[in-house]
Chains A and B, each alone.
Chain A
Amino acid sequence: GQSLEQPSEVTAVEGAIVQINCTYQTSGFYGLSWYQQHDGGAPTFLSYNALDGLEETGRFSSFLSRSDSYGYLLLQELQMKDSASYFCAVRDQGQAGTALIFGKGTTLSVSS
Chain B
Amino acid sequence: DTAVSQTPKYLVTQMGNDKSIKCEQNLGHDTMYWYKQDSKKFLKIMFSYNNKELIINETVPNRFSPKSPDKAHLNLHINSLELGDSAVYFCASSLYRDKNYGYTFGSGTRLTVV
Q: Given contacts A33-B100, A95-B56, A105-B41, are A41 and B48 in contact (CB under 8 A)?
A: no
How many Å from the CB of B48 to the closest CB on chain A?
5
Chain A's nearest CB lies how many Å from the CB of B2? 11
Contact residues in B for A99 (Cβ distance below 8 Å): 33, 45, 48, 56
In the complex, whether B50 has a CB less than 8 A from a CB of chain A is yes
Residues of B within 8 Å of A35, CB to CB, are 103
Are B105 and A48 neighbours in the complex by a CB distance under 8 Å?
no
Whether the pair B55, A33 counts as a contact (CB closer than 8 A) is no
Question: B12 at interface (Cβ–Cβ under 8 A)?
Answer: no
Q: Which of A45, A90, A95, A96 contacts B103 (CB 8 A)?
A: A45
Q: How many residues of B contact A (CB 8 A)?
A: 25
- Chain B nearest CB: distance from A80 CB in Å? 20
Residues 7 to 57 of chain B near chain A (Cβ within 8 Å): 33, 40-45, 48, 50, 55-56
Q: Which of A84-102 contact B (CB under 8 A)?
A: 85, 87, 89-92, 95-102
Contact mask for chain A residues 24-47; partner B; CB cutoff 8 A; 1 contact, 0 none: 000000111101010001111100
Q: Contacts A89-B100, A97-B50, A99-B33: A42 and B106 contacting too (C-beta < 8 A)?
A: yes
A32 contacts across to B, CB distance below 8 A: 100
B84 within 8 A of A: no
Residues of A within 8 A of B (CB): 30-33, 35, 37, 41-45, 48, 50, 85, 87, 89-92, 95-102, 104-105, 107
A29 CB → nearest B CB, Å = 10
- Complex interface: chain A residues within 8 A of B41 (CB): 37, 85, 104-105, 107
- Tell whether, in the assembled complex, residue B40 and residue A104 are in contact, meaning their CB atoms are under 8 Å apart: yes
Q: Could you tell me the distance between the alpha carbons of A96 and B53 in the complex, rounded to whole angstroms?
A: 12
Inter-subunit contact B105/A42 (CB<8 Å): yes
What B residues does A105 contact at CB under 8 A?
41-43
Q: Given A95-B56, A97-B56 in contact, is the A87-B100 Cβ separation under 8 Å?
A: no
- B108 to A, closest residue via Cβ: A42
Residues on the A chain within 8 Å of B75, using CB: none
